[in-house]
């Protein structure tokens, strides 16, 4: 039982590591269109990538502090919402990351098929 729990923890840790980089890529890609946090979460979930609030909002702040996103508070449907979109630098970085991602993906596919 303890071993089974240990394996679950290990799996969750590895899964978290695997998802971390992918989430950044997914968030940047989704923010080519301006969105606020909740709609961004919904858009990601609709495409099969669930992300909780506790992960998304700190990530958005970090990406903004790194200059990859810009944000502004605006009123919509009588509520103040913070809208995010890619900055110019974010667009450049996203392009380069996508190339990197495709290379990694192609390599992984080769490695996995070989096995």
Partner 1 sequence: MELIERYLQSVKFALPKNQKQDIVAELAEDLHSQIQDQEAALGRSLTQEEIAAILKKVGHPMQVALRYRQPRYLIGPQVFPMYLFVLKLIWMCFFGPWLAIGIALDIFVAANHSRHYQGLTAILDHFWLAAFTNIVVVTAIFAIIDCYQPDGLWSNWNPLKLPKVRDVNRIPLSSSVSELAWYGIISLWWMGAFGFPSLTGWHVTPAPLISRFFFWPLLILLLGHALVAAVNTFRPWWTPRRAMLRAALDALGLLTIGALLAICFTGGSFVSVNSTQLSSTEILDVQKWFTWGWVVMLLLWVEIGYLVGFVQDARRATGRQPFRVCVSA
Which member of 36, 69, 86, 93 binds partner 1 (CB under 8 A)? 36
Mention every residue, 6+ apart, whose C-beta is less than 8 A from residue 110: none
Q: How far is the CB of 38 from partner 1 (least distance, A)?
A: 4
For 76, other C-beta atoms within 10 Å of its C-beta total 10
* 19 touching partner 1, by CB under 8 A: no
Q: Which is nearer to partner 1, 24 or 101 (CB)?
A: 24
* 6 touching partner 1, by CB under 8 A: no
67 torsion bin: left (phi>0), alpha (psi -120 to 50), beta (else): left
Q: Which is nearer to partner 1, 77 or 115 (CB)?
A: 77
Piece of the chain touching partner 1 by CB under 8 A; list 21-29, 50-58, 95-103, 106-114: 50-58
- Tell me which residue of 67, 65, 58 sits closest to 86, measured CA to CA: 67
Phi, psi of 71 (to 5 degrees): -140, 160
Rounded CA-CA distance 110/112 in Å is 6
Q: Which is nearer to partner 1, 82 or 110 (CB)?
A: 82
> Which residues contribute to the site for partner 1 (CB under 8 A)?
36-38, 41, 52-55, 57-58, 61, 73, 79-82
């Amino acid at each position: 039982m303890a071993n089974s729990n240990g394996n679950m923890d290990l799996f969750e840790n590895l899964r978290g590591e695997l998802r971390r980089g992918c989430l950044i890529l997914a968030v940047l890609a989704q923010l080519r269109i301006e969105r606020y946090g909740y709609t961004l979460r919904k858009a990601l979930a609709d495409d099969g990538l669930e992300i909780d609030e506790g992960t998304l909002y700190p990530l958005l702040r970090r990406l903004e502090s790194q200059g990859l996103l810009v944000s502004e508070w605006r009123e919509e449907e009588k509520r103040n919402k913070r809208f995010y979109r890619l900055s110019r630098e974010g667009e450049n970085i996203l392009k380069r990351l996508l190339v990197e991602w495709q290379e990694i993906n192609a390599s992984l596919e080769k490695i996995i098929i070989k096995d």
